[in-house]
Amino acid sequence: MPKVDTHIREEIDQYQLDRQQKGNLVVLLRLCHEHLDSVNEDLVTRAFKLCCKSHENITRASGEPYYLHPVEVAKIMAEEFNIDDVSVVAALLHDTVEDTSVTLKTIEVLFGSTVMHIIDGLTKIMGVFENRDTKQAETFMKLLLSMADDIRVVLIKFADRLHNMRTISHLPKQKQLNKATETMELYAPLAHRFGLFKIKNELEDLSFKVIDPNSYKFLVRKLREKKEAREIFIDEFMQPITSELGEQKFNFEIKGRPKHIYSIYRKMQMQQKPFEEIYDLFAIRIILEEPHTKEDCWRVYSVITDWYTPIPKRFRDFISVPKANGYQSLHTTVITKQGRKVEVQIRTRKMDYIAEQGLAAHWKYKEGNNSGSNELDKFVHWVRDVLDAPRPDAATEFVKDFQLNLYHDEIYIFTPNGELKTLPNGASCIDFAFEIHSEIGERALAAKVNGKMMPLRQKLKSGDQVEIITGNKINLNPDWMEDVVTHKAKARIRQFIKQKERKIANQGRELWEKRAAKGKIEISDQELTKVAKRFKFNDAQEMFYEIGSGAFGVNELFKRVKQLKSKGRLDDESEDHKKQISEQAPEEYFTTARSVGDGKALLVEGELTNVKYSYANCCNPIPGDNVIGFISRNGDVKIHRSNCKNAHHLIRTDSERIIDVSWARNIDTQFLGGIKVIGEDRVGLVNDLTEVLSKSLQTNMKSINVNSEGGMFEGVITAYVNDLKHLEKIIQKLERVDGIKTVIRYE
């Protein structure tokens, strides 16, 4: 061993931990012994000491010693993922090579090549996410690539992000929004795909808490208020089931937990219903202990349906046909005699472990025996399949396609030989063709679905058996883009479209070069780009494409070039060009953007400054809403609610234009608020609603749009409100009007 490494080992072994550090080491070792099959205490202790020493005198945004972050990540690896002590060691050291003077060589000498390779994988993907779609996608692919080599890399990355989200309140507001949006749109979907549902749920809730704190607090309060009633209902619902399962000698555990907060919020948004009308707020889970098998799950299902009426459309058998991430369980929704719907999940203890731990569970089963290898291999095959697919030119499209596939429900399609393929819901025969092989997709002519000839655009449903009929030549069609949902199919069609566009653009360039030669004009590519921008094209390539396709005349271009050449104006900066320059360098422009208009309602970056601003029509923010500011190209500030979809897009694509804004204390202005009202139609209902607003609340109404059908009334009221509390007071008053069933803020 080289002397320098011997010296480092001795230095680490002799390093004295303080009282707090000793306490954290004891807790970490206890968690390792509780959750891991075996623990090398010396290795973990040495890694803990190197972690403390290398991050000495460094603090986090909270003011706490920095070493606590990798220690907490290591605790998550032990307690949540319970993989092995190597992953705990790597978690302790995951920031050392990136942030300190520790080298990979030192890591290898002190902790072995496996730990070194994990740290190397983490270092390559760490710190690159900067909330721009291109960089997100690039890093996303690096993350997947590193995972294909050692899955512990991605698990540590999840643990790292989870702890960062748990401690996010110490960051400035804008950084919180950036990180929360990134977590919601990249980390949570990826956790979902890897079957890490427990982690995915917590990441979504923590992100939601930052993005829309008012809705988060409202739902937490509602769940707390209903907790006792929920527990009583679960006990009453399960009493006959528990009794009968006990008589049949089942060894089982029952869990009745509320669904995570963000999933409840999504249901409210999708169904446009208030909290009180979302009935499936929790799921009851029955977990059979070993040696119970999947056959016993069906016996338990039989017991439940003897007592309660099942809803056939809500039954899902993920035991016979597991999800692509290995998830297995029986799902059924039943109705009680009181008419209440209850979701019940039935699974074995092993199925529950895989459902909670996903990827981590497959890894652990693979390490213990070979039975888990197939499931793990499916993950790795899926990763490599994504990476091997033709890569889209726009990285933003990669992210969009990828997220689409993650959140779709899955359907199960059979090949003519009976092989099962898993596709996203909404997939067509074209998607299926590409799923079999890229060449099959490229040469597909038609399809047989369940023995009948069908067009390739035909949407598939679970259980379909599909045969693809191919030709000898490539038969790709750009119009297929609207009919496919999988990343693999979209990427190849997009590549084909780009190739076709490039060919047309080359034809356009040839037409220009012939015309320029005939007119004896010489012009550089740089000058052509300037001319293209004067015609409002993004670049010369786009202009040539328009010429090649016949949408833009080559003679028109020739006349303009000749005119500009004769006047020597190709190098002048016209007003359009200056505007383009300002758009390309927004930071310089912003310094002069904050000195006009008046600022009576908003504090910009904590101060009541003179800033010209307006409110976004897409989300109509009112005082009390959490808001962000977006600096437009002309220097004005547009105010969005922080949970607005458009705001999320701006955070992802133009984060440097986002500024912190908050409401001033005293605002002498009224704002437009929307309220959706649903109820039983009756004579005088509209009059009662308007009377509540005008007389009881002295609130001016701008408009009311109503629709009545089948005895039901639905209306949208737009009123002038002072702030969020005023709007909430209106909602509470309208809820008391006779016949009204639902009153919610209209988005």
Residues serving a catalytic function are 98-99
Q: H-type helices in 519-599, by residue range?
A: 525-534, 540-548, 554-567, 575-584, 586-590
Bond from prior residue into 258 cis (ω within 30 degrees of 0): no
Number of other CB atoms surrounding residue 339 within 10 Å: 7
Measured CA to CA, the distance from residue 108 to residue 735 in angstroms comes to 66
DSSP structure string for 697-726: S---EEEEEEEEETTEEEEEEEEEESSHHH
Do the Cβ atoms of 355 and 362 come closer than 8 Å? Answer: no
For 667, the token pair is 């605002």
Measured CA to CA, the distance from residue 486 to residue 483 in angstroms comes to 10
Q: At 122, which amino acid appears?
A: L
Residue 690 burial by CB count (10 A; 0-12/13-18/19+): exposed, middle or buried? middle
Do the Cβ atoms of 503 and 448 come closer than 8 Å? Answer: no
Measured CA to CA, the distance from residue 719 to residue 344 in angstroms comes to 43
Long-range contacts, 447-456 (Cβ 8 Å, 24+):
454/429, 455/429, 456/428, 456/429, 456/430, 456/480, 456/483
Measured CA to CA, the distance from residue 365 to residue 378 in angstroms comes to 14
Do the Cβ atoms of 430 and 489 come closer than 8 Å? Answer: yes
Measured CA to CA, the distance from residue 195 to residue 245 in angstroms comes to 29
Could you tell me which residues are beta bridge partners of residue 674? 718
Going 365 to 366 to 372 to 377, the CA torsion angle's sign is positive
Single out the residue of 279, 231, 218 nearest to residue 257, CA to CA. Answer: 231
Q: First and final CA of the chain: distance in angstroms? A: 66
The alpha carbon of residue 402 and the mean position of all alpha carbons in its chain are separated, in whole angstroms, by 10
Measured CA to CA, the distance from residue 179 to residue 154 in angstroms comes to 18
Element (DSSP H or E) covering residue 652: helix 645-653
R_g of the chain, CA atoms, integer Å: 30
Measured CA to CA, the distance from residue 22 to residue 435 in angstroms comes to 53
Do the Cβ atoms of 585 and 656 come closer than 8 Å? Answer: no
DSSP structure string for 395-440: HHHHHHHHHHHHHSPEEEEE-TT--EEEEETT-BHHHHHHHH-HHH
DSSP classification of residue 57: T
